[in-house]
Structure 1
Amino acid sequence: MQATREDVEAVIEVVVSTLGIEDQAATMDAGTPLFGELPELDSLGVVELAVALENRFGIEVDDEDVTGEVFATVGGLAEFVAARRS
């Protein structure tokens, strides 16, 4: 499922608040790289972000969902969330 602009913005809000990177929020968009690019998104950060996404969107993030592809960019993460919500 294609993520909407609202999906992307909501995922940005979760990423920013979970990782404590409020100073980067204004420059983030669907193409913003995440995993491997943000030092805050280490193994613990991925777990915290997965839990925050579950709580915010009422979805379940399984262990096998935590891949470099899903967490590569904001847009990829938003598409994952949109697919799980539908």
Structure 2
Amino acid sequence: MAATTANDVTPVSPNTASADDAIDTRLRAVLADVLGLDAERVAAFDADTGLFGHLPELDSQAVATLLTEIEDRFGIVIDDEDVDGEMLETYGGLRSFVRAKCDAAA
């Protein structure tokens, strides 16, 4: 996993039609990088694709790394009380969570 620099963090504007696409693309890259998943496998994820408890690569240690990397790449803060099983249950849940955090940070 490559180190994230300030140049790698690009805010996502909550008011553009392409914001969802930008979040989706960046979130897929984070998942591939952190979990060591093939890009084609991650590209096939849909909203209902199971994550925690479904991907053997996503264990409790990987969750901590994933959340830290999401914070770094999206320029958001994820508080401990924000983390629950629902937001990590599916790809769609995680994407919605990240979108809400980006909207709140804007």
TM-score class normalised by the smaller sequence: 0.7 to 0.9
- May I ask how many residue pairs the two structures share in their alignment? 85
Query: How far 1:27 moved relative to its partner?
Result: 1.9
SS in 2 for 1:32: coil
The match for 2:60 is 43
Q: Which amino acid aligns with 1:40?
A: E
In 2: Cα distance, 1:71 partner to 1:58 partner: 19
In 2: Cα distance, 1:43 partner to 1:56 partner: 20
Match of residue 13, structure 1, among 29, 32, 38: 29
In 2: Cα distance, 1:26 partner to 1:80 partner: 19
Provide, for residues 5-24 of structure 1, a one-character-per-residue CA deviation record: whole Å limited to 9, x for no partner.
Answer: 43223211111111101252
Q: Which moved more, 1:18-27 or 1:75-84?
A: 18-27
Which one has a bigger Cα radius of gyration? 2
CA contact (8 A) 2:28 2:43 kept: no
Q: Which moved more, 1:34-43 or 1:9-18?
A: 9-18
Question: Identity percentage over the alignment?
Answer: 45
Provide, for residues 11-53 of structure 1, a one-character-per-residue CA deviation record: whole Å limited to 9, x for no partner.
Answer: 1111111110125223222221101101111110000000010
Where has structure 1 moved over 3 Å in runs of 4 or more? none
Larger RCO: 1 or 2 (CA < 8 Å, sep 6+): 1
Could you tell me the TM-score, scaled by structure 1's length? 0.85
* CA 1:32–1:78: 2 relative to 1, 3 Å: same
CA contact (8 A) 1:11 1:74 kept: no
Could you list the runs of 5+ residues in structure 2 that have no partner in the other structure?
1-13
Q: Which amino acid aligns with 1:59?
A: I
